[in-house]
Amino acid sequence: MSFIAAEHPAEAIGLQRLDMLRALPDLAIAAVAGRDSIAAAVDAARNGGFSAILPTSVATGTEYGSADSVLEAVAVLRRLLAGEADVLDPIRIGSPKLWAAMNGRFAAEIAARWRVCSPCLACHLYVHVARIPLAWALGNAPVITGERDTHDGRIKLSQTTASIDAETRVLAHAGVELLTPIRSASHAEVETLVAGWREGAGGLRCVHSGNYVRTDGTVVFDEDGYSAYLREFFEPVGVAVVDAWREGDADPDYEEIVRGVLRGTGLSETGR
Nearest to 137 by CA among 252, 56, 75, 67: 56
Provide the pLDDT for residue 198.
61
Domains along the chain with CATH numbers: 4-263 (3.40.50.620)
At what angle are helices 161-173 and 235-246 packed, to 10 degrees?
10
pLDDT of the residue at 8: 92
pLDDT at 209: 74
Residues in the chain: 272
What is the per-residue pLDDT for 266? 47
Q: Which residues of the chain have pLDDT under 70?
A: 1, 64, 152-153, 198-203, 206-207, 211, 265-272
Predicted pLDDT of residue 217? 78
Give the pLDDT of residue 1: 61
DSSP β-bridge partners for residue 91? 56
Contact 236, 245 (CB under 8 A): no
Note the pLDDT tens digit of each residue in 13-70.
888 889 999 999 899 999 998 889 999 999 999 999 999 999 999 998 777 677 788 8
Closest Cα to residue 252, out of 59, 143, 117, 102?
Answer: 102
Half-sphere exposure for 228 (CA within 13 Å, toward CB) = 14
**For residue 52, which amino acid is it?**
A
Which run of H or E residues covers position 206? Answer: strand 205-206
Give pLDDT, residue 270. 42
